Amino acid sequence: MAKTQSIQSVQRAIAILYAVAGIEDGRSVAQIAAALDIKSNTCHKLVLTLESEGLLVRRNKPLRFMLGQGIRELNCLEEDRHLLSLAAKWMTRAHARISSANLVFLEWEQAITYQRLRCNAKAPGRVIRPRNLVIEPYCHISPLVFLANADEQEAFLFDQTYPFEPLGKSIWGSRRRFDSYLASIRRDGYAVSGPELSHWFRVVAPIFSPGHEVLAVIGGYVLHTTSQALQSRLVKIVTSTACQLAEQYASGESTVVA
């Protein structure tokens, strides 16, 4: 028996990714099939599968396929594996202190907020790693913590990706009110959402690099109907965990002391 057994469909899927990589305008299914000498019908099925997983994205008029956001996300996850590893440990520790809450860890990439890790109240002790879970802005506060601390270029990209009108105006009413909320995040050092956004009480705190850039954010949420004492405790745990995680990441240490 051979030491390795190749799966043809996987090999072809990988070949398709290489075939479109670096092609500025992308390639059609016919062009990909011709380049790889495979049947057009087989190529079409593989392309649609890769698209469904976010590894390819289509461009219309004419129809072309290019590398998708999933490829960039894989690269981001690889580069940030130390931070993710630390975050998982700190979230587990924090969740043990407030298991009735839900905790999340999120990162920003090209103005898009991704949920990387989650601890659910219904599954204490377990860290979930979602795939391609994008958090929409305006109705969630985690993207707004990134935006509040963004530089001019990042803020411009956010506005281009998620225009305030009509996306934000329907929730916040006016740009002035929205900008005032962003200013409160910078002033307080974290964000808290009121019942006007959802039935969840949410708190999100930034994790800063030594250069005071936001590496990621950590958040927690419980129902607004929970006690004020529990909500205050959640704020304290989330903000302190964010600070401790940032300090340990900067030190290069990997062990979380219980």
pLDDT number for residue 255: 62
- β partners of residue 191: 204
Which range, of 87-96, 185-194, 246-255, averages the lowest pLDDT?
Answer: 246-255
Query: Residue 79 — pLDDT band, cuts 50, 70, 90?
Result: low
Q: Is the pLDDT of residue 207 over 50?
A: yes
The mean pLDDT value of the chain amounts to 90
User: pLDDT of 34-74, one tens digit each?
Assistant: 999 999 999 999 999 999 988 999 988 899 999 987 787 77
Instruction: List the one residue out of 189, 207, 186, 203 whose CA is nearest residue 250.
Output: 207
pTM to 2 decimal places:
0.74
Tell me, what DSSP letter sits at residue 136?
A: P
Weakest mean pLDDT among 117-121, 218-222, 253-257? 253-257
- CA-to-CA distance for 224 and 40, rounded, in angstroms? 54
- ω into 62 cis (within 30 of 0): yes
Domains of the chain: 8-67 (1.10.10.10), 73-251 (3.30.450.40)
Which H/E stretch holds residue 215?
strand 214-223
Eight-class DSSP state of 110: T
Q: Is 248 left (phi over 0), alpha (psi -120 to 50) or beta?
A: alpha
34 C-beta neighbours (distance < 10 Å), count = 14
The residue among 174, 178, 179, 108 whose CA lies nearest residue 142 is 108
Q: Comparing C-alpha atoms, which of 75, 104, 77 is closest to residue 88?
A: 104
pLDDT above 90 covers a percentage of the chain that reads 74
Where would I find the H helices in the chain? Answer: 8-20, 29-36, 40-52, 69-79, 81-97, 142-148, 152-161, 169-172, 175-188, 228-251
- The confidence score (pLDDT) of residue 1 equals 42
